[in-house]
Amino acid sequence: MADARPKFNFRIAELLPLARLLRASYVRDQAALADLLPDDYTPAYLASYDEQIAAVEKLVRTSVSIAERGVVTARIAQALAALPQLLDHLEARVRKAEGLTMPAPSFGIKAVRAARNAADHEDLADALRTLLHNISQNDKALLLKGQKPTETQQIQDLYDQLVTDSTAQGTSFSNQRVLTADNAATLNALYDQMVALLADGKALYKSSDKARLKDYTLDQLLKRVRRDPAAPEEAAKKA
């Protein structure tokens, strides 16, 4: 029986963003790659790569949908719906507040938005914890700019609900216990194609272009995904 585990050691939720970044590099460099390995990088290569991405996207959408139906309560759904406006108000006050203990862009609001938009409740709980800590550390400065204790409490309540209801165990497809052998095979098929492309990109640029070499180095791509969750989407638009 096939092993129901991914071959990679990063989070499953990071596989698609990595794949999209790598795809953008391939689109840019496909002529050079075809010149290096013409039998591998035929005109059909991109369609094959996109099929693997689509298969994983379908898998992730299905898993998240099932998890949300099973564990996300109406109370949490209501709190999530109110979160964007709470963040908008907080962001305006952070931008105007004086004497903060950190620069406004580092306050943690962006990370909360990204986790909410990705429906990753595990990351959302972590991001909310950091945000609440930063609010607490800058409480006086934010109160002077109009931050209401009731709004902060709404953010706290959402964090508490996420932790109490353990939604992170169900809604994040990163939880490997939900994997079946077929699911793992789908994830690994995309990863295998990525590994081959990474190796060939390195062969192409290792001695000639250090900047492009980073686009085929997994650790560098992971740093980009973790630093800026929007990076893969922006790269896809440019490709």
Q: What is the pLDDT of residues 128-170, one digit of tens each?
A: 999 999 999 999 999 999 999 999 999 998 888 877 764 444 4
Phi/psi region, residue 161 (left: phi>0; alpha: psi -120 to 50; beta: rest), is alpha
CA distances from 215 to 21, 56, 163, 211 (A): 8, 22, 37, 7
Proportion of the chain above pLDDT 90, given as a percent:
59
CA geometry: angle at 28 spanning 22 and 33, to 5°? 85
Neighbours of 120 (CB within 10 A): 22
159 plus 202 within the same structural domain: no
Question: Are 91 and 108 in contact, with CB atoms under 8 Å apart?
Answer: no
Instruction: Look at the chain and report how many structural domains it folds into.
Output: 2
Measure the CA–CA gap between 232 and 21, rounded to whole angstroms: 5
18 plus 95 within the same structural domain: no
Residue 214 vs residue 2, higher pLDDT? 214
Which helix (H) or strand (E) covers residue 132, if one does? Answer: helix 121-137
- Is 133 a member of any domain? yes
Average per-residue pLDDT for the chain: 84
Q: What is the pLDDT of residues 21-61, one digit of tens each?
A: 999 999 999 999 999 999 999 999 999 999 999 999 888 76
Neighbours of 208 (CB within 10 A): 9
pLDDT at 59: 83
Q: What is the pLDDT of residues 89-127, one digit of tens each?
A: 999 999 999 999 999 999 999 999 998 888 777 788 889
49 plus 90 within the same structural domain: no
What is the pTM (predicted TM-score) of this model? 0.55
81 plus 161 within the same structural domain: yes
Q: What is the pLDDT of residues 188-231, one digit of tens each?
A: 999 999 999 999 999 999 999 999 999 999 999 999 988 865 56
What's the domain range around 55? 12-69+182-238
